[in-house]
């Protein structure tokens, strides 16, 4: 890529963001402007802003890579994102939230529920959960974004984090939610164009929709067949290894995996001669690129098949680890988790009337379908392209099997250079738009909800300077956190925050919108039980996505989980959401009905 | 369907398209509906 052209495009991009921030700053006069963009946002801007805040870089790169590894079952997450994340969210949550929010004169999501239930405790607790846990999520997004900047522009990781934070600070602090939403709409447009072109390119490059799907469908059989053809050669080498008593008990896959490790250790030592004749011949065999690819592909596929993988065009086998992770963590957790996210729910209150929300549904649905649908489809289809080019599947085409590298590697190798630049802007936009929404939500939760409403008991309009200071503080905390967060925290922090929001806020949010018999006590009980039970589940049974042992179970009992499989693969939302919902219903029915204006 | 054999997968593909069409259809049908227009009153 021409570095001067790249730099020029980045400068123009940042210039446009700064201009939008300045325009929003000029139009921000009241706290309604700063917190709710003046409640007069255009439906197109609202829909794109909602979608761009919803979808971060990790959704495109991370989940795209996950789809490359585990296949098209993620299409059900696309469906959940469109149906629950847009249709249900806009129609069944957005419309009543806008009307009720206006009536209650609420300016933030915690204030909306706090005022509905006439409870400072609910207001304060929600703000406390947001202020405490949203920085984790935001720093996870910041880390993923900085890693992307680091690799794309060869910048130092720490410098990348600082540049990113400073850029976002300028337009969030200057322009409030107006600045965020204007910038989101601009960035959402870039994301839409980039992902639409990617989908067209990908299908075009690989020979069209049906032939590509068929080829992907046949890939596991091809991989198995190639390995079968290579097996006689491997068996001959294994015979030389017969001095090892264990060899006879091993399957050919186990033996090959062992030899792979020995070959890797040998190549690391460079000059040393192979320790055995078998290893020498195995190293020789791997010098043939085709044989090495066949071995690597087969080993990866047989490993993930043990967890339930049945092919990239098949849903994982029922009852396996992969089945539970995809169904509960990915489809239900991420799909339903989006419904009670404070930074998304507040956007329903930014439009003037129901008409804007009706119109925004059209753009929102198309936008999400295009962005996540492309990411997960192209992720799966990269296997066909990599296999056609090098005889390797996606996971064996990138170094260390790092799933996050699959989509960028595909873009760099398969698509024209100019598209690489557009895609870089797409990812930059996805990162900045999500982060700016989070900074704004954290700043308003701290300034408006926690300090003004809960501590100072102020009910009128907010002080804009205080909001700006709080946005800045949340930015500082997130930036500092991102320097200290452990490696591999991105997916865990994201799922933790989404899970906590869904189980703690969703039942009382639905109750406020649709159930007249709901009471303040029921809402408080549901919030406390949902939060406490999810904390228990995450620390004793399952860390989100089941990748690490549950913290306290590991610390106190020395085991990864207090429950056995399949429980430890089931996401916290699936278990805890019914419990917090039941708590809301039971406690509301047991307490005195409350009189509210209709 | 669409070159995909597993009904769970092709129905997922179809569900994505249908849910997008649902959003488009709903939005188009209610394009000018504006009940409870509190803000403009």
Residue A343 domain-assigned (yes or no): no
Residue with tokens 């123009």: A12
A155-209: pLDDT as tens digits? 788 888 888 888 888 878 888 888 889 989 999 999 999 999 999 999 998 888 9
What string of DSSP letters covers A29-40? Answer: -SHHHHHHGGG-
Beta strands in A313-406 (DSSP E): none
Q: How far apart are CA A332 and CA A482, in angstroms?
A: 28
* pLDDT of amino acid B40: 43
* pLDDT of amino acid A548: 61
Q: How far apart are CA A192 and CA A198, in angstroms?
A: 10
> Are residues A144 and A245 part of one domain?
no
> Are residues A190 and A46 part of one domain?
yes
Q: Which of A438, A461, A481 is the last residue of a domain?
A: A481
Checking ipTM against 0.85, whether it exceeds it is yes
A32-90: pLDDT as tens digits? 888 888 888 899 999 999 998 888 887 888 888 889 999 999 999 999 999 999 999 99
> Are residues A493 and A450 part of one domain?
no
Return the closest-CA partner of residue A358 out of A87, A101, A100, A108. A87
> Are residues A495 and A456 part of one domain?
no
Contacts of A154 (CB under 8 A, 6+ apart): none
Q: How far apart are CA A503 and CA A586, in angstroms?
A: 16
CATH number of the domain that residue A24 is part of: 1.20.1730.10
Residue A138 domain-assigned (yes or no): yes
Q: Which of A448, A481, A514 is the last residue of a domain?
A: A481
A317 CB within 8 Å of a chain B CB: no
pLDDT for A476 beyond 70: yes
Whether residue B22 and residue A373 make contact (CB cut-off 8 A), yes or no, is no
- Please say whether the dihedral angle defined by the alpha carbons of residues A149, A155, A161 and A163, taken in this order, is positive or negative: negative
Give SS3 for A276.
coil
Contacts of A162 (CB under 8 A, 6+ apart): A479
> Are residues A593 and A460 part of one domain?
no
Asked if the peptide bond before residue A566 counts as cis, ω within 30 degrees of 0, the response is yes
What string of DSSP letters covers A402-469? Answer: -GGGHHHHHHHHHS-HHHHHHHHHHHHHHHHHHHHHHHHHHHHIIIIIIIIIIIS---SPPPHHHHHH
A318 CB within 8 Å of a chain B CB: no
Whether residue A73 and residue B16 make contact (CB cut-off 8 A), yes or no, is no
> Are residues A223 and A211 part of one domain?
no
Residues of A in contact with B35 (CB under 8 A): 354
Helices (H), chain B: 7-29
How confident is residue A442, by pLDDT bands cut at 50, 70 and 90?
Answer: very high
Residue A207 domain-assigned (yes or no): yes
> Are residues A86 and A53 part of one domain?
yes
Residues of A in contact with B23 (CB under 8 A): 82, 86-87, 361-362, 364-366
Taking CA atoms, A152 is separated from A6, A155, A255, A592, in Å, by 11, 8, 39, 60
A73 CB within 8 Å of a chain B CB: yes
Mean pLDDT of A251-262: 84
Residue with tokens 């994201």: A494
Give me the phi and psi of B38, to 5 degrees please: -65, -40
- Find the range with the poorest average confidence among A254-258, A547-551, A552-556, A587-591: A547-551
A313 CB within 8 Å of a chain B CB: yes
A384 CB within 8 Å of a chain B CB: no
Domain count along chain A: 3
Residue A213 domain-assigned (yes or no): yes
> Are residues A278 and A211 part of one domain?
no
Residue A334 domain-assigned (yes or no): no
- Find the range with the poorest average confidence among A38-52, A113-127, A223-237, A565-579: A565-579
Q: Which of B1, B2, B3, B29 to mutate to test the interface with A (most CBs of A within 10 A)?
A: B3
Return the closest-CA partner of residue A44 out of A224, A182, A198. A182
pLDDT for A490 beyond 80: no
* pLDDT of amino acid A355: 92
What do you get for the CA distance between the two ends of chain B, in Å?
Answer: 51
Tokens at residue A106, please?
Answer: 């609420």
Give me the phi and psi of A353, to 5 degrees please: -150, 175
> Are residues A384 and A461 part of one domain?
yes
What string of DSSP letters covers A230-259? Answer: HHHHHHHHHHHTTTSTTGGGS-HHHHHHHH
A305 CB within 8 Å of a chain B CB: no
> Are residues A552 and A521 part of one domain?
yes
pLDDT for A525 beyond 70: yes
Residues of B in contact with A82 (CB under 8 A): 16, 19-20, 23
| A467, A172 contact by CB (below 8 A) | no
Residues of B in contact with A210 (CB under 8 A): 2-3
How confident is residue A133, by pLDDT bands cut at 50, 70 and 90?
Answer: confident
Q: How far apart are CA A483 and CA A485, in angstroms?
A: 6
Domain with A175 in it: 1-217+352-481
Mean pLDDT of A534-545: 76
Return the closest-CA partner of residue A545 out of A585, A477, A498. A498
Q: Which of A305, A325, A343 is the last residue of a domain?
A: A305
Per-residue buried b or exposed e for A411-442, using 16+ beta carbons within 10 Å of the residue's own CB = beebbeeebbbbbbbbbbbbbbbbbbbbbbbb
Q: How far apart are CA A19 and CA A591, in angstroms?
A: 53
Residue A332 domain-assigned (yes or no): no
Whether residue A103 and residue B38 make contact (CB cut-off 8 A), yes or no, is yes
**Closest chain B C-alpha to A362 CA, distance in angstroms:** 4
Nearest Cα residue in chain A from B32: A355
**Closest chain B C-alpha to A163 CA, distance in angstroms:** 37
* pLDDT of amino acid A491: 65
Q: How far apart are CA A504 and CA A525, in angstroms?
A: 10
């Amino acid at each position: 890529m021409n570095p001067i052209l790249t730099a020029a495009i980045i400068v123009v991009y940042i210039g446009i963001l700064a201009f939008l921030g300045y325009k929003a700053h000029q139009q921000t006069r009241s706290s309604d402007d700063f917190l709710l963009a003046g409640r007069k946002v255009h439906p197109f801007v609202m829909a794109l802003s909602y979608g761009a805040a919803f979808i971060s870089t990790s959704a495109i790169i991370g989940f795209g890579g996950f789809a490359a590894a585990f296949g098209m079952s993620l299409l059900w997450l696309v469906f959940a994102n469109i149906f629950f994340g847009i249709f249900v969210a806009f129609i069944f949550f957005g419309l009543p939230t806008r009307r009720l929010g206006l009536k209650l004169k609420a300016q933030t999501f915690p204030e909306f529920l706090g005022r509905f239930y006439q409870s400072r405790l609910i207001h304060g607790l929600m703000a406390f959960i947001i202020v405490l846990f949203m920085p984790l999520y935001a720093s996870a997004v910041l880390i993923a974004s900085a890693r992307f900047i680091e690799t794309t522009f060869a910048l130092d990781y720490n410098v990348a984090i600082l540049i990113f934070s400073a850029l976002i600070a300028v337009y969030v602090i200057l322009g409030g939610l107006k600045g965020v939403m204007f910038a989101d709409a601009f960035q959402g447009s870039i994301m839409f164009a980039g992902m639409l072109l990617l989908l067209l390119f990908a299908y075009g490059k690989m020979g069209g929709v049906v032939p590509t799907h068929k080829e992907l469908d046949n890939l596991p059989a091809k991989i198995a067949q190639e390995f079968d053809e290579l097996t006689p050669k491997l068996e001959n080498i294994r015979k030389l290894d017969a001095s090892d008593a264990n060899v006879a008990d091993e399957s050919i896959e186990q033996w090959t995996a062992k030899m792979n490790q020995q070959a890797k250790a040998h190549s690391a030592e460079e000059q040393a001669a192979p320790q055995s004749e078998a290893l020498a011949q195995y190293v020789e065999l791997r010098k043939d690129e085709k044989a090495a690819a066949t071995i690597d592909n087969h080993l990866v596929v047989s490993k993930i098949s043990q967890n339930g993988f049945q092919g990239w065009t098949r849903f994982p086998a029922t009852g396996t680890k992969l089945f539970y992770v995809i169904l509960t963590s990915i489809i239900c957790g991420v799909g339903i988790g989006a419904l009670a996210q404070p930074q998304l729910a507040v956007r329903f209150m930014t439009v003037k009337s129901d008409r804007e929300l009706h119109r925004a549904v059209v753009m929102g649905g198309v936008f999400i379908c295009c962005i996540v649908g492309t990411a997960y489809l192209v992720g799966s289809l990269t296997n066909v392209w990599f296999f056609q080019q090098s005889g390797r599947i996606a996971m064996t085409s990138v170094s260390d099997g790092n799933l996050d590298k699959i989509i960028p590697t595909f873009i760099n190798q398969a698509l024209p250079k100019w598209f690489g630049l557009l895609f870089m802007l797409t990812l930059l936009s996805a990162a900045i738009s999500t982060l700016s929404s989070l900074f704004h939500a954290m700043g308003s939760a701290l300034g408006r909800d926690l300090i003004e409403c809960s501590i100072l008991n102020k009910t009128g309009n907010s002080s804009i300077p205080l909001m700006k200071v709080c946005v800045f503080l949340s930015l500082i905390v997130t930036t500092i956190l991102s320097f200290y967060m452990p490696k591999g925290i991105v997916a865990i922090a994201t799922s933790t925050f989404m899970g906590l929001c869904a189980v703690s806020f969703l039942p009382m949010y639905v109750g406020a919108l649709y159930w007249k018999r709901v009471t303040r006590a029921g809402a408080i009980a549901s919030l406390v039980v949902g939060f406490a039970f999810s904390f228990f589940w995450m620390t004793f049974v399952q860390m989100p996505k089941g990748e690490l042992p549950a913290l306290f179970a590991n610390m106190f009992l020395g085991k990864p989980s207090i429950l056995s499989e399949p429980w430890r693969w089931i996401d916290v939302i699936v278990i805890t959401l019914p419990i917090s919902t039941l708590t809301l219903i039971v406690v509301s029915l047991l307490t005195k009905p409350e009189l509210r204006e209709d | 369907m669409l070159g995909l054999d597993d009904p769970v997968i092709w129905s997922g593909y179809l569900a994505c398209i249908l849910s997008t069409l649902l959003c488009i259809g709903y939005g188009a049908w209610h394009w000018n509906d504006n009940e409870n227009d509190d803000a403009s009153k």
